[in-house]
Structure 1
Amino acid sequence: MKKIAFITGATSGIGEAIARILAPDHSLIICGRRKEKLAKLASELRAKSKVHTLSFDVSDATAVQSAIDGLPTEWQDIEVLVNNAGNAHGRSPIHEGELADWDAMIDGNLKGLLYVTRVISPRMVAKKSGDIINIGSIAGKEVYPEGNVYCASKFGVDAATKGMRLDLNPYGIRVIGIHPGLVETEFSMVRFKGDKQKSKSVYEGITPLYGKDIAEMVKFVIDRPPHVTIADITIFPTAQASSTLVHRQP
């Protein structure tokens, strides 16, 4: 019987790639706010696996609770949680930041991850097994100029991941943090609010990571034998050495 994997932010980028790579070996609960994209992905993946969809905003604690509590009985036994949903809004010095952007990043990146984990983790505790994979960022390891609140939210993810690992250790639950560098997804388009030129410039002169690269890491950590936890992974494209040092070809 396939394990059930619950993936947030599954409608594009890293989350979609994770859903695709896990589909052959897992039953999937894929989550996202864009219902049409969610339905399209589910339709494709049902050739490989059982798929259930949920559409809710991770930053809405009531919606999170309601959606997960409302799962049919056969979908209640979640054994793999991938907290992937998140966002970046704007990039500016602290004294020029937009409060709405700050709220969106803290609510989506950190509080949303916590809300989903709070509902699902007690089920894993009761079984004394499970995997929780939190998709963080190099921005949660190193601060860069004009990344203040985004970095703060991702530092929070890293701290929450470490805290979860301590709290859930007595129950045999593996908690893994995966922290990518530059990954070419919709991320920059969202951050720069649809500015295609700014978004494109982020990846110019390099071969970035792609969603599949991160998905392969997720599959790798899940597939380790039960006595092995790959606790923390930082993954860069070869052209990147830190959050700010990137070797770009002319």
Structure 2
Amino acid sequence: MDEKRVAVVTGASSGIGRAIAARFARQGVRVLATGRDGRRLADLAAESDQAPGAVRPFPGDVTTPGHARELLAAAAAEWEAASIFVACAGHGLPGTVLGSDPTRWERLIEVNVLAVLHQLRDAAAEFVRQAELDGGRRVRDIVVIGSTVGRQVSAANPVYGSTKFAVHSLVEALRQEVCAHNVRVTLIEPGFVRSGFQDAAGYDSAWFEAVAAESGPLLTPEDVASVVEFAVGRPTHVHLDDIRLRPTRQKV
């Protein structure tokens, strides 16, 4: 990877987003890291202080109107225009269509679909603008963290899964729209990852540990981060646009 690149990473205060931001910094990338937990972002920045790159914390909520534009402007003001945007922030929701909590549906869709759509639109518009200025000589990457449950229908987790199906569709449509500008839009679809995601969403811990016993060892956030690093590090003419990774023993 070109160590001079600038990246924006959402959802960077924990889990996969945090691992991506930290890994980028170790590779020399300058990272604007955003999330709702300012203390954890500050800890991430401190831990990356000796890395070849840098992490600058920028607390915020991805559902705030104009947040992605604000992030891109802040990165440009701090260093230079970003050429990587990673959309990682998201919520989970346990339960079936009949069994999930309907009072949480709107927030789930707001975070997992509408906020991602705004991020995609704003990042792509900025990257296309940059490409038109330099003739697309520099590759630019938009990476979205999806899920294997957004490809295979799950009767046990369909509401969350439906948001990932929607995002997967948007990612491919945007890829087709901007690829001529050397803007790569990449979907990463992890299977089961052991992180704080399950606890934050309220998934049953006994169920999750049963999954881990059957399918583990589970993926770690660092496993996903290494795949993101590899994808954005390909030469300009190479695009790994859709990558699924699972624990080896995960069946579906």
Q: Does TM-score exceed 0.5, indicating one fold?
A: yes
Q: In structure 2, which of residues 166, 175, 180 is the aligned counterpart of residue 165 of structure 1?
A: 175
Q: In structure 2, which of residues 89, 99, 106 is the aligned counterpart of residue 85 of structure 1?
A: 89
Q: Which amino acid aligns with 1:2?
A: K
Question: What secondary structure, in the 3-state scheme, does the structure 1 residue paired with 2:141 have?
Answer: strand
Residue in 1 aligned with 2:59? 55
Residue in 2 aligned with 1:235? 245
Q: After the TM superposition, which residues 136-151 of structure 1 pair with which residues of structure 2 at under 5 Å, given as runs?
A: 136-151=146-161
Question: What secondary structure, in the 3-state scheme, does the structure 2 residue paired with 1:204 have?
Answer: helix
Asked if the contact 1:9/1:32 (under 8 Å) is kept, the reply is: yes
Q: Give how far 1:64 is off.
A: 4.3
Residue in 1 aligned with 2:15? 13
Change (3 A) 1:236 1:71: closer
Question: What secondary structure, in the 3-state scheme, does the structure 2 residue paired with 1:233 have?
Answer: strand
Asked if the contact 1:57/1:64 (under 8 Å) is kept, the reply is: no
Residue in 2 aligned with 1:121? 124
Q: Deviations over 1:77-131 (max 9, x none)?
A: 010011111110232x313432232122211112221222222222210222410
Q: Give how far 1:197 is off.
A: 3.5
Asked if the contact 2:21/2:33 (under 8 Å) is kept, the reply is: yes
Residue in 2 aligned with 1:112? 115
Residue in 1 aligned with 2:48? 45
Asked if the contact 1:78/1:120 (under 8 Å) is kept, the reply is: no
Residue in 2 aligned with 1:247? none
Unaligned runs of 5+ in 2: 132-138
**2:38 paired with 1:29:** no
Q: In structure 2, which of residues 105, 108, 112 is the aligned counterpart of residue 102 of structure 1?
A: 105
Unaligned runs of 5+ in 1: 243-250
Question: What secondary structure, in the 3-state scheme, does the structure 2 residue paired with 1:82 have?
Answer: strand
Q: Give how far 1:231 is off.
A: 1.0
Change (3 A) 1:52 1:189: same
Q: Give how far 1:236 is off.
A: 0.7
Percent identity between matched residues is 29
Residue in 1 aligned with 2:210? 201
Asked if the contact 1:90/1:101 (under 8 Å) is kept, the reply is: no
Q: Which amino acid aligns with 1:51?
A: V
Structure 2 CA distance for aligned equivalents of residues 191 and 37 of structure 1:
18
Residue in 2 aligned with 1:222? 232
Q: Give how far 1:204 is off.
A: 2.7
Asked if the contact 1:77/1:123 (under 8 Å) is kept, the reply is: no
What's the Cα RMSD here? 1.9
Asked if the contact 2:21/2:55 (under 8 Å) is kept, the reply is: no
Structure 2 CA distance for aligned equivalents of residues 123 and 76 of structure 1:
13
Moved more, 8-17 or 60-69: 60-69
Figure out how many residues of one structure are paired with residues of the other and give that number: 240
Structure 2 CA distance for aligned equivalents of residues 199 and 192 of structure 1:
11
Q: Which amino acid aligns with 2:89?
A: A
